Structure 1
């Protein structure tokens, strides 16, 4: 065992206030990023036939399977991101999902609404890549696993 393994981690009351603020901001950021995925996943559950039709309309194969995969990614990924569970991997999957859905569903950039949705997805991917780069922070299951 190394000497550093015997050093106890400071309790929350012993933490520097800026460390607590940073950990809190990380948690709040994960919650805010997750909200759109969780809400979107539940909206898909509420209207599966409509979503299968929408997925079919853009020419993706196996729309029922695509819908099931989207629901799992959005709800499962969103909840895992909030919890900070395997955060870097989950954030990477959600970032790829966001870019894919921007390209597949919001590629009519001449339509202002589609243009906004396209770049919203790209911006979400950017935020998620920040999570990939910097991790979940102290208030996460990942931090407890160390």
Structure 2
């Protein structure tokens, strides 16, 4: 298979990965903006009532990770780091807010968002800013060499 044929065959996967990155990234951004609307003190008070340590720091960090990580997913910048950070926050959300809940009506959103962020972080397609940066070029060459 020629390199051109491989690129053409990759387009459906790259486009669907981009669409998924946009949707998942937008959901994280919306959650971060919702927290900003509530205010750091309001979010910190809620976090404190859930037993989250250092609630003020956690509130600012959550806002930053959700908005920054969501934007990074959408544009495809530092995808592995963004996906891992967002997934880690979903583990925290599960641990502090959803342990013991049922899957449906409980932790399904946290589970889907965390798994999606992680998957998109490590296989988010080539329609990403990362592709044009030195680490993205190396990763693409490594993948081509392995195939």
TM-score (normalizing by structure 1)? 0.79
Higher helix share: 2
Asked whether the equivalents of residues 73 and 121 of structure 2 are also in contact (C-alpha less than 8 Å), the reply is no
Cross-structure match for 1:143: 131
Deviation at 1:124, TM superposition (A): 1.8
Deviation at 1:108, TM superposition (A): 4.4
Asked whether the equivalents of residues 26 and 137 of structure 1 are also in contact (C-alpha less than 8 Å), the reply is yes
Deviation at 1:115, TM superposition (A): 5.3
Cross-structure match for 1:56: 48
Alignment of structure 1 residues 1-146 onto 2, 5 Å: 15-16=7-8, 18-48=9-39, 49-109=41-101, 116-134=105-123, 136-145=124-133, 146=137
What is the root-mean-square deviation of aligned Cα atoms in Å?
2.2
Cα deviations by residue, 1:32-63 (Å, 9 ceiling, x for unpaired): 11122100100111112331221111122221
Cα deviations by residue, 1:8-52 (Å, 9 ceiling, x for unpaired): x86xxxx52x42221111110111111221001001111123312
User: Which of structure 1's runs of 4+ aligned residues deviate more than 4 A?
Assistant: none
Where structure 1 has 5 or more consecutive residues not aligned to the other structure, the ranges are 1-8
TM-score (normalizing by structure 2)? 0.78
Asked whether the equivalents of residues 55 and 63 of structure 1 are also in contact (C-alpha less than 8 Å), the reply is yes
Alignment length, in residue pairs? 130
Q: What is the distance in 2 between the residues matched to 1:46 and 1:127?
A: 25
Q: What is the distance in 2 between the residues matched to 1:84 and 1:142?
A: 6
Asked whether the equivalents of residues 106 and 115 of structure 1 are also in contact (C-alpha less than 8 Å), the reply is no
Asked whether the equivalents of residues 85 and 140 of structure 1 are also in contact (C-alpha less than 8 Å), the reply is yes
Cross-structure match for 1:3: none
